[in-house]
Structure 1
Amino acid sequence: MTVLDHMKAAGYDPNAARNADDLRRMGVGTMECESIQLRTFRCRPYQYEGEMLAVEATAMVPFTDGTQRPYPDGWPSSIKASAMAFFRIKEDE
């Protein structure tokens, strides 16, 4: 499964994200992996829109010491190893 597949399996569909077109165009989250690290937080990524839920998914990879850790930023293919999607927060009516 890719990083985006894992994100969808966790209940966050990247195709329903506010930035879904950007995710597809940039090719983020396409790395195959066994598991991911998810981080969620509230933010305001767009100037003229309200607060959104940000979901950051990063591939967990094995290191030579036998541990599994998130794929480090700056390593080759780090763009493929992570994805950040923004979801509109549904207000209670």
Structure 2
Amino acid sequence: MGSFLPFLCIAIGFSWADCASVFTVNPETSRARLALMTASTSIFLCAIGLSFANHSLAAGSALVACGLAIALTLGRNPSSPVALLISTVGFAVYLHGVID
């Protein structure tokens, strides 16, 4: 299970920008953009929950810190669909590795 933890950090890091933009949204935001933000927020919150689910508080905090470090490194460079795709793949790989 430990070898799949970096994928959880990737899911947190690549979904953070769209998740944070939910709090600064303006009324002219398109429905497609709102759908991207909703999906990213779901992945972000699930990844944070799984960071603490089977790990200690210190390990969960380290995973979240690693994910946020990735997010700070990226900034807003990747476009939303690409970032959502990468975070979805990272989250899916983590889940597949943990479940199997």
TM-score (norm 2): 0.30
**Which of the pair is proportionally richer in strand?**
1
TM-score by length of 1: 0.32
Larger of the two Rg values belongs to structure: 1
